[in-house]
Structure 1
Amino acid sequence: MTTLDIRPLDAREATEPTPYRWRWPALFVILAGSVMELLDATVTNIAGPTMQADLGGGTSMIQWLGVAYTLAMTAGLLTGGRLGDIVGRKRMFLIGAAGFVVGSLFCAVAVSPETIIAARVIQGLFGAAMVPQGLGMMKEMFPPKELQAAFGAFGPIMGLSAIGGPILAGWLVDADFFGTGWRMIFLINLPIGLLAVLAAVKFLPATRPTRSLKLDLPGALLASLGSLMIVFPLVQGREHDWPAWTFVMMAGSVAVFAFFGWYESRKNSRGGDPLIAPSLFRKRTFIGGMFTGTIYFAAFSGFGLVFNLYTQLGLGYTPLKAGLAGVPLSVGMIIGMGAMQAVRRHGRRVLHAGAAIMTVGVVALLLLLGPEVGPWQLAPALLVTGLGSGLIMGPYFEIALAGVEPHETGSASGTLTALQQVGAALGVALLGTVFFGAMGGDPTAAARSTFWVVAGMVALTFLVGFLLPRQAREDADPVH
C-alpha cells in the first residue's frame, strides 16, 4: 500500500532540501581546477632537462622544479582546507585559482633558476588553497544518492590526466609554438585558469564561513620548516660534496618535528584547534599508515622523475617521445585502481599484492635498461609497475584511516594527504640525488642503480604495511 506524503510543502522542503541548481556545472569547475593542478605537478618531470638547458643552474635545479612545488603544496594543504572553513570555500577556490594563474604566468616568464623556483612555490601555495575546497563543496551540493556518482567522476578524469599530462607537456615543448618552447606548458594555464575563475564565479555555491575555527599558523610553519630541513640538504648536498651543514640540518629537522608535536599537544590541551589531532600519534595503525604512505609516494614520485631523465639524457628521446614512453605506467596504474574495486574486500592483502607486483615490475625494468632499448621493450615492465602501484594507492587511504575514530577522520585525512606531498618531495630529492650522483657520464648505469633503490623502497612498503589495519572502515569517504 502506498502512503501519501500529506505534509505541507514547506515542511517537506525543510527535511528534503532542494539540491543545488548548478551542482553539475560546479562539479566540472572543481574538476578543471584539480586537473590543472595535477598536470602542473608533473609537467616539469618531462620538461625539466629542457628548462635546465635554457635557464642554466646545476642538475639540482631539475629536482627543485618538482620539490619546490610539492613542498609549497604541503605547506598550503595544511592550512588551505581550514581557511576554506573560516572564510568560505568559494572565496578560497577563487583566490587559489586566480593565484595559480598568476604563478603560471611567473613560471612562463622566468629568466633564471631562482625565478622559476620561486614561481613554482607560488603555484604550489595557491594550488593548495584551491584544491581542498572541492570535496567540501561537493558534499554540500549533492544529495546522498548523487554524491557517489559525483565522486566517481574523479577517477576517469584523473586517469586521463595522468596519461595525457606527460604527452601534452612533451608535445608543447617539442612544438615550440611561437618560439615559446617549454614556457607553453605554463602559458596554457592562463586561458584555462581564467575560464575556471569565471565559471567558478557563476556556478560555485557560496558557503557560510565557520567563524569559530581558528588557523594554526605556527603549527603549519613548524611542519613546513621540518620538511624543508630534510629536503634542502638532500637536493643541494651532492653538488656541495656533502658538507657538515647538510647533516646538521637533517638532524635539526628531527628537533623541529619533536617541537611541533609538543606544540600541537599543548595547543590541544588548552582547547585550541591544532593542525593535527595529537591523539593520532598514539595509534599504531595510523603511524603505520604514515610510514607506508610516505615511503610509497617517495618511491613512486622519484621513479617517475628518474625514468624521464633516463629516457631523455640516456636514450636521447625528445620530451614528447619520453612522455609517450611513460604511458604504459599510467595505463597500468589505472588498471590496478580499477581492479582494486573488485578485490577491495581483501583489505591489506591488496596493498601487499600491489607492493610485490610493483617490485617485480621495477626489477624487470632495470634489467631491461640499455643504451639501445626501445619504448616497446620497456612497456611490459612499466605496465606491471603501474599495475602494482595502482593496487597500492587504491586502498591505501581507506585502510590507513580504518584505525582512527570518526571525530579524528578530518585531521587524519588531511595529515595523510600532506604526507603524500612530503613523500613526493622526498622521493624526488633522494632518488634524483642518487641518479645524478651515480651518473658519471653513464645515465643507464645511474638509472639501474637508482631503480634498485626504488625496488628496495617498495619492498620496505610491503613490510611496513603490516602495521596497517587488516580491513578498511566501512564508512570511509570515497575520495580523500
Structure 2
Amino acid sequence: MTGAESGTGGTGHLPRRGALAVLLAATFMGILDVLIVNVAAPSIQRDLRAGFSDIQLVISGYVLAYAVGLTTGGRLGGAYGHKRVFVAGLLAFAVMSTACAAAPGVDVLIALRIGQGLAAALMLPQVLALIETVFPPEERPRALARYGATLGLGAIAGQLLGGLLIDLDVLGLGWRSVFLVNVPVGLAAAACAAVLLPPSRPGPRHRPDLAGLLLTAIAMTLLIYPLVRGGAGGWPPWIWPSFAGSVLALAALWRVEQRCARSGGAPLVRPALLRERGFGLGLAVVVAFYSGNYGLFLLLAYVFQDGMHLSPLGSGTAFLPLGVGFATASMAGRRLVARYGRNVLVAGAAVMAAGYLVLIVTLLPGPVPTAPLAALAMAPALLLAGAGGGLVAAPLVGSILATVPAEEAGAGSAVLLTVNQVAISLGVAVFGTLFVALLGTDPQDAAASVSVTDFTDALIGCSWFLMVLAVVTGLLIRCLPRRAR
C-alpha cells in the first residue's frame, strides 16, 4: 500500500491548498444550490407558469433526494474510493445543473432537481473524508474551520449571487443562470480533483441496504408531497391515506433496519443509536431548528419580490442581515461553547426567538410606504434571528454527538446530516403551505391583487410559529444529557 493510499502519509508533496480549494468549491456549490433557488423561485414560477406548490417541490425535491442518498453516498465512497466517487459526483452535479437550466417545464425541473440532489449525495459526503486524507492531524483543525466558514459563506452568497445573476440576465437566461453557474465550477473542480487529490484505496464492500433506502424514500415522499400539494388542492381526501402510508413505511423501515443489524449487515440507521435518549432528543432539536430556519428563506423571497416588488438583487441584498448575523455568530459559537458550554445554544435559541418577536413588532403597524424602507426596517430583526441561529447551528452537531458513545459517533453524524436535510424539506413544505393559507391565494396571483400589508400579515402569522419553534429548540437543548451514558 502506498502512502497516499494509507492516509496522510503520502500527501506531503501535494499542493494542499489547491486540494482544499477543490473540496471547498464543491461544498460551496452544494450549499449554494439549497439557497440560491429561493431567490430565483418567483422568477421560475412566472416563467414556467407554475404554482407555488410546484416551486416548493423544486426546492424540497433537491433537499429530500440529498437526504435519502446521503448515507449511501458516503458508503459508496468508502467502498470504491472517496476520490473516485467525489469526481463522479462533481461531474454528475454539473450535468444535472445543465439539464435544470434547460428544463422546458416545471415538472421536468422537479425531476431534474431530484437528480441534482442525488448527485450532491455522491459528492458532498466525500469532502470530510478527503480532508482527513489530505491533511495531517496538526493541519486538520484549520482545514475544518475553513470548511465551516464555507458553509456560512454559502448561506450569505446564495441569495445575493442568485439575485445578481437574474438581474444581469446574461444572454437572456434569467433564472436559468443560477443553475448554469455550477457547470464551469463543477467541471473545473473535477479536473483539478483528478490531479490534486490523493488516490484513496477502496475499502470493504458491504451489501447496500436497498430496502432501507427505498423505504426511507417512500416514507419521506408520502409525507412531504401531500403537505405541499394538499393546501393547493383544498386538502383532498387522498392526502390522509398518504400520511398513513408514510407512518407504515417508517414502521417497516424500523423492522428492516433491526433485521439488517441482527444479520451483521450495514443498516442505513443503527437501531441501537435511536435507543439512546440523548440522540433521540437531538434529532428532535435538529427538526425544530432547521425546519424553521429554512422555511423562512422561501417566505422572505416572496415577501420581498412579490409583496414589496423588489428586484431579485434587491431581495438578495435584503437577506444580507440574516446571513451576516448567522455567519458571524457561527464563527464565534464554537469558541463560546468551549467556555460556557451548552448554555450558548440555549441562549442562541432565545436570541432567535427574540429576533422573530422583533420582526412581528416591526411589521404589526403595517409596512412603511416604500418597499426598500420596509425591507430596511426588517433588517435588525433578521440580524438578530440570524445571530441566534448561528449560535445554535455551529456547535449543535458536536453537542448532540457528545450524548452518544464514541464508537457510535460516525453513524450518529450520518443520521444527523440526513435528518437535517429532511427537516429543511419539511420546513419548506409546512411553512410554504401555511404562508399561502394565511395569504389566501398563490403569491404570484397576490402580487397583482393584494397589498404589501397582506404579505407582511402572512409573514407575521408564520413568525409566531417560527418563534414557538425557536423556544422549543431551546427547551429541547436543555433536556439533552451532558455526556454519553
- TM-score class, shorter-chain normalisation, is over 0.9
Q: Which residue of 1 aligns with 2:328?
A: 335
1:367 to 352, 355, 361: 361
Structure 1 stretch displaced more, 371-380 or 263-272: 371-380
Q: Which residue of 2 aligns with 1:424?
A: 424
Q: Which residue of 2 aligns with 1:463?
A: 475
Cα pair 1:400 1:472 within 8 Å, conserved: no
Q: Which residue of 2 aligns with 1:434?
A: 434
1:21 matched to 2:13: yes
Q: Once the two structures are superposed, what CA deviation does each residue of 1:102-143 show, in whole Å capped at 9, x if it has no partner?
A: 111111111111011111111110011000111111112211
Q: Which residue of 2 aligns with 1:65?
A: 58
Q: TM-score, normalised by structure 1?
A: 0.93
- Residue 213 and residue 134 in structure 1: after superposition, are their counterparts in 2 closer, same or farther (change >3 A)? same
Q: CA deviation at 1:361?
A: 0.1
- Residue 447 and residue 472 in structure 1: after superposition, are their counterparts in 2 closer, same or farther (change >3 A)? farther
What is the one-letter code of the residue matched to 2:358?
Answer: A
Cα pair 1:348 1:468 within 8 Å, conserved: no
Q: Which residue of 1 aligns with 2:316?
A: 323
Q: Which residue of 2 aligns with 1:227?
A: 220
| Distance in 1 (alpha carbons) for counterparts of 2:8 and 2:110 | 50
Q: Which residue of 2 aligns with 1:6?
A: none
Cα pair 2:134 2:197 within 8 Å, conserved: no
Superposition pairs for residues 76-155 of structure 1, below 5 Å?
A: 76-155=69-148
Q: CA deviation at 1:341?
A: 2.7
Q: Which residue of 1 aligns with 2:385?
A: 385
1:205 matched to 2:217: no
| Distance in 1 (alpha carbons) for counterparts of 2:375 and 2:401 | 38
| Distance in 2 (alpha carbons) for counterparts of 1:354 and 1:156 | 18
What is the one-letter code of the residue matched to 1:429?
Answer: A
Q: CA deviation at 1:16?
A: 9.4
Q: Which residue of 2 aligns with 1:356?
A: 350
- Residue 15 and residue 223 in structure 1: after superposition, are their counterparts in 2 closer, same or farther (change >3 A)? closer
| Distance in 2 (alpha carbons) for counterparts of 1:159 and 1:212 | 34
Q: Which residue of 2 aligns with 1:187?
A: 180
Q: CA deviation at 1:18?
A: 4.4
1:269 matched to 2:262: yes
Q: Once the two structures are superposed, what CA deviation does each residue of 1:368-419 show, in whole Å capped at 9, x if it has no partner?
A: 2234353321111111101100111121101110121222111110000000
- Residue 21 and residue 221 in structure 1: after superposition, are their counterparts in 2 closer, same or farther (change >3 A)? farther
Is the partner of 1:244 in helix, strand or coil?
Answer: coil
Q: Once the two structures are superposed, what CA deviation does each residue of 1:19-58 show, in whole Å capped at 9, x if it has no partner?
A: 3422331111111111111111111110001100000121
Structure 2, unmatched stretches of 5+, are 1-5, 441-449
Is the partner of 1:272 in helix, strand or coil?
Answer: coil
| Distance in 2 (alpha carbons) for counterparts of 1:30 and 1:216 | 28
What is the one-letter code of the residue matched to 1:390?
Answer: G
Q: Which residue of 1 aligns with 2:26?
A: 33
Cα pair 2:65 2:115 within 8 Å, conserved: yes
- Residue 41 and residue 19 in structure 1: after superposition, are their counterparts in 2 closer, same or farther (change >3 A)? same
Cα pair 1:101 1:193 within 8 Å, conserved: yes
| Distance in 2 (alpha carbons) for counterparts of 1:18 and 1:412 | 30
Q: CA deviation at 1:472?
A: 9.3
Cα pair 1:63 1:428 within 8 Å, conserved: yes
| Distance in 1 (alpha carbons) for counterparts of 2:83 and 2:334 | 32
1:452 matched to 2:464: yes
Cα pair 2:82 2:130 within 8 Å, conserved: yes
Structure 1 stretch displaced more, 219-228 or 286-295: 219-228
Is the partner of 1:309 in helix, strand or coil?
Answer: helix
Q: Which residue of 2 aligns with 1:295?
A: 288
Is the partner of 2:51 in helix, strand or coil?
Answer: coil
- Residue 470 and residue 241 in structure 1: after superposition, are their counterparts in 2 closer, same or farther (change >3 A)? same
Cα pair 1:43 1:185 within 8 Å, conserved: yes
Tell me how large the CA RMSD over aligned residues is.
1.8
What is the one-letter code of the residue matched to 1:271?
Answer: G
- Residue 375 and residue 239 in structure 1: after superposition, are their counterparts in 2 closer, same or farther (change >3 A)? closer
Is the partner of 2:268 in helix, strand or coil?
Answer: coil
Q: TM-score, normalised by structure 2?
A: 0.92
| Distance in 2 (alpha carbons) for counterparts of 1:246 and 1:463 | 32
| Distance in 1 (alpha carbons) for counterparts of 2:249 and 2:342 | 32
Q: Which residue of 2 aligns with 1:49?
A: 42
| Distance in 1 (alpha carbons) for counterparts of 2:389 and 2:182 | 29
Cα pair 2:351 2:388 within 8 Å, conserved: yes
Q: Which residue of 2 aligns with 1:3?
A: none
Query: Identity over aligned residues, as a percent?
Result: 39
Q: CA deviation at 1:342?
A: 3.1
Q: CA deviation at 1:15?
A: 12
Q: Once the two structures are superposed, what CA deviation does each residue of 1:433-473 show, in whole Å capped at 9, x if it has no partner?
A: 00011102421221111111111111121222233133699
- Residue 471 and residue 377 in structure 1: after superposition, are their counterparts in 2 closer, same or farther (change >3 A)? farther
| Distance in 1 (alpha carbons) for counterparts of 2:51 and 2:231 | 11
| Distance in 1 (alpha carbons) for counterparts of 2:244 and 2:150 | 41
| Distance in 1 (alpha carbons) for counterparts of 2:278 and 2:97 | 39
| Distance in 1 (alpha carbons) for counterparts of 2:86 and 2:292 | 31
Cα pair 1:314 1:371 within 8 Å, conserved: no
Structure 1 stretch displaced more, 284-293 or 140-149: 140-149
Q: Which residue of 2 aligns with 1:164?
A: 157
Structure 1, unmatched stretches of 5+, are 1-13, 474-480
Cα pair 2:67 2:421 within 8 Å, conserved: yes
Q: Which residue of 2 aligns with 1:401?
A: 401
Q: Once the two structures are superposed, what CA deviation does each residue of 1:184-210 show, in whole Å capped at 9, x if it has no partner?
A: 111111111111111111111111111
- Residue 63 and residue 24 in structure 1: after superposition, are their counterparts in 2 closer, same or farther (change >3 A)? same
| Distance in 1 (alpha carbons) for counterparts of 2:389 and 2:322 | 9
What is the one-letter code of the residue matched to 1:178?
Answer: L
